[in-house]
Structure 1
């Protein structure tokens, strides 16, 4: 497959949070994937419309129409994770919204890249969402099969369970995690890439129990409590933010 215009839509995962670049810029797996596409063929243009904190409905209502207007031949749409963190989230309803977006994108002839969520089994608190996350992921595979979309499988990736792949907030990938995700996405699209991205790191030394407990408490104070506070105030980490790369430009 060859693509000339790649547009990425979604939330903080696609915006690139956790993968800082020069100055205040963010890189992220989508930027890295665009570079891989450009290396495989010349003339690729790329836009990234993702904004952190966005729910699936917001991505579909605010970003997908803009993406369609840009006339891409490849679109990545990864969203729903923020919804699934909220109590009472309905993965079946989310899947229906996602399918409508995929249908609209595929109707233009564009290829679509979806991504399953990461299995949260090893993360305290977030692990409580595992059941509805698994249900949503199953829907994504079915949507892809019905409409001919590609799927980046994060749920089944062993390497992504390594804490060293994650930023200190445990919600966003660190630079190495973004790098490997870009390579995994390229492989899902059929590009010929070095398969070493799928090899897990050697096991890390086990921390003493006291350090593990202290780390958990620090994580709750630094990230969980502020997140709950924003929810109670009806605020989002993406309030006032706009897309970092709204216009397709050469990579």
Structure 2
């Protein structure tokens, strides 16, 4: 299908965190998908904002997306709901409401399950039931409302640290490329199949010093920031705006799908 108006919704993963271009801008799977779809008349918007939960996307991103009248919407969300401690019931309700809303105005919608990253996170076992709830809710909502499911829950890449950035949570450039491959495969769009090929060799195992540096440089600063923001009533993502708020042609100096 020839998509002309593509809108990405979501959180930091849809924004493209940890997939940096040389000039410091974030690229990400959505930009890579847009590059693969690029053709005369094609336009792309990315309304994702880091830190946003599904319930926030519903009130902040969906109205803007509706006004853009897209023919393709891809939604990546739910990770912040899982990590914020939302109940399983809240997560299921938010996932259903979000998919129902997006499918009400876009003819083609794709949504994701999440890989189980709980083994990467401190106290990750507490997250696993919420991840399972989110994935089950996304599958149910996709079937109920006619969305395409990009099912990456069992993708083995979650066990390879090369697919992840320094915080072991956000995807690296390799991870974003792989996720773009999953999206394009689900949409039936031709792409470079090497994006989904296993990486050669094995990732170097993390040492005790690596784990200590990760806790010092990644985990503790985030925990401190979240605690401080909660005390002052600030939400993750406050103050940030979408990087592509309007539908526009791709204008990167080079095609970003490479």
1:43–1:161 CA distance, 2 compared to 1 (3 A) = farther
1:206–1:28 CA distance, 2 compared to 1 (3 A) = closer
TM-score normalized by structure 2? 0.88
Match of 2:120, SS?
A: coil
Is contact 1:32-1:182 (8 Å) kept?
yes
Range moving further from structure 2, 95-104 or 70-79:
95-104
Residue in 2 that maps onto 1:220: 215
Q: Distance in 1 between matches of 2:27 and 2:204?
A: 31
Residue 101 (structure 2) pairs with residue 118 (structure 1): no
Question: CA shift at 1:203, angstroms?
Answer: 3.7
Q: Distance in 1 between matches of 2:249 and 2:190?
A: 21
Query: What is the aligned residue count?
Result: 245
Q: Aligned match of 2:162 in 158, 164, 167?
A: 164
Range moving further from structure 2, 141-150 or 78-87:
78-87
1:124–1:11 CA distance, 2 compared to 1 (3 A) = closer
Q: Aligned match of 2:153 in 152, 155, 158?
A: 155
Is contact 1:114-1:150 (8 Å) kept?
yes
Residue in 1 that maps onto 2:238: 239
Q: Distance in 2 between matches of 1:205 and 1:168?
A: 14
Q: Distance in 2 between matches of 1:206 and 1:248?
A: 41
Is contact 2:29-2:180 (8 Å) kept?
yes
1:222–1:101 CA distance, 2 compared to 1 (3 A) = same
Q: 1:198-217 maps to which residues of 2 (within 5 A)? A: 198-204=196-202, 206-207=204-205, 212-217=207-212
Q: Aligned match of 1:105 in 102, 106, 111?
A: 102
1:54–1:18 CA distance, 2 compared to 1 (3 A) = same
Residue 116 (structure 2) pairs with residue 127 (structure 1): no
Is contact 1:159-1:199 (8 Å) kept?
no
1:73–1:29 CA distance, 2 compared to 1 (3 A) = same
Is contact 2:103-2:145 (8 Å) kept?
yes
Question: CA shift at 1:109, angstroms?
Answer: 4.2
Q: Distance in 2 between matches of 1:13 and 1:206?
A: 24
What RMSD over aligned residues (CA atoms) do the two structures have, in Å? 1.8
Question: CA shift at 1:124, angstroms?
Answer: 4.0
Listed one character per residue, the Cα deviations across residues 36-61 of structure 1 (whole Å, up to 9, x for unaligned) are: 111xx432210001111112211111
Residue in 1 that maps onto 2:224: 229
Q: Distance in 1 between matches of 2:239 and 2:213?
A: 28
Question: CA shift at 1:236, angstroms?
Answer: 4.8
Q: 1:53-72 maps to which residues of 2 (within 5 A)? A: 53-72=51-70
Q: Distance in 2 between matches of 1:109 and 1:20?
A: 29
Q: Distance in 1 between matches of 2:51 and 2:109?
A: 22
1:124–1:105 CA distance, 2 compared to 1 (3 A) = closer
Q: Aligned match of 1:42 in 40, 49, 52?
A: 40
Residue 88 (structure 2) pairs with residue 91 (structure 1): yes
Listed as ranges, the gaps of 5+ residues in structure 1 are none
Detail structure 1 runs of 4+ shifted over 4 Å in the superposition. Answer: none
Listed as ranges, the gaps of 5+ residues in structure 2 are 251-258
TM-score normalized by structure 1? 0.90
